Structure 1
Amino acid sequence: MLEVEARWLRARLQELGDAELTPLLNLGSSDLQFRTVVQPWIDREVFAPLRGRGAAIVHSDLKALPGVDIAADALSEAGRARLRAVGARAILCCNMLEHVTDRAALAAGLSALVPAGGLLVVTVPFSYPYHPDPIDTYYRPDPKDMSRELFPELRLVRAEVVDGPSYGPELLRRPWLLVRDVRKLAGLRDSPSGTAGSRLRWLFRPYRVSCAVLRRE
């Protein structure tokens, strides 16, 4: 998650009343170290303010790791049953849709978890390099198109493409990454994105993220 993306999420969540936010289900949460050490802005911008408001937060991921409350596969019936039991009023699904082969099935499962009056907040890269985890289908949609195609049962409340930094400043701070990038180019030729996925293409242009807030009437 980009830091600007985390700040966007914080702003959107601050616009909501306490009753709309709890329990909140965070799908594809990764573990506590990732949220607090590797990308500390995730906890600082998104979850610390929610905890300060007294919101109940349930983190879910595929793997049972520290900081993961529910280890579940959102694409399986058993996994969806465990997630439904949370009774979430709000659901976060950040940077997951590009990492699954059947995103329509994942989207349908997500939509089914949203109760009447409930919210779904989705982010997905709009302009970003190839980043397998463990795969990257190179799904890079406009947020309005994504909402219309994947979540037709939900009303789009807000759609925005958020601009982040470019790769240039990071490369200036860590110039040795250039060696890694050049070495990866050969491997990327065989990836779904081809050499178009190289971070060097974002040397001067910004990373961009599609962000959407949806509600079930």
Structure 2
Amino acid sequence: MDPVARSIVEAVELNAKLLDDVQAAIWRTPEVRFEERKAHDLLTEELHKAGFRVTPSYILPTGFRAEYGTGGPCVCFVAEYDALPEAGHACGHNLIAEAALGASLALKKALDNAPGLSGRVVCLGTPAEEGGSGKELMLRGGALKDVDAVVMVHPSAVNDAAPPFMAVAKVRVRYTGRASYVVGAPACAVNALDAAVTAYTSAAAMRQHMRPSWKVRTQRECYKPSWRGTLCRHRHVVRLNRQITF
């Protein structure tokens, strides 16, 4: 095995327990977008102890940047660590953070063991992936201006070096009805909830005719039950493996 590759493998094995402890701690204390303070502090602490130059609260309050080495090229490993509301780390961002930390520590050891090897490794903590556009905000803030390559992994049931990227379209629909007393004059009412339910069931019925890679989800948004049924909103999220236009 190549000496650099051997150093990387040895570092991963050496840090296995540490990495598992870190991801488990993040998993036990899920924090939603822009509130990932415990995860931020835990990851920056471990990177600081490993000898990285750490900038906490980088661009965003719960973002961070940790850098090691000199010269170039510069490889950046991206860490996510925000959780889903109510569902916790069902999307596995605790594992993404673990992978970014582990890869950063491993590449650092490779640089240490090869004095003639120049370059820098950056571990970039990006908050608010779930609905907060954290990466976009950090990109606009210049987080990657001196980086040559960016790497991130996402947990999955299979290993895939080049996963497909899906186009996303979000459509918000407002259903407006007409109020009427349901006992005295029900025929005069227009029930917005009926329209919303019909739209939802129609979208659900279409799924059997869709390709496996197509995903359609409907979310209730700001809906409060009312005896009049005059207003409700849905958000329809469509994911396809090709560009779509509405």
Output the TM-score relative to the length of structure 1: 0.33
Instruction: Compare CA radii of gyration and give the structure with the larger one.
Output: 2
Higher RCO, 1 or 2 (CA under 8 Å, sep at least 6)?
1
Output the TM-score relative to the length of structure 2: 0.31
* Richer in helix (by share): 1
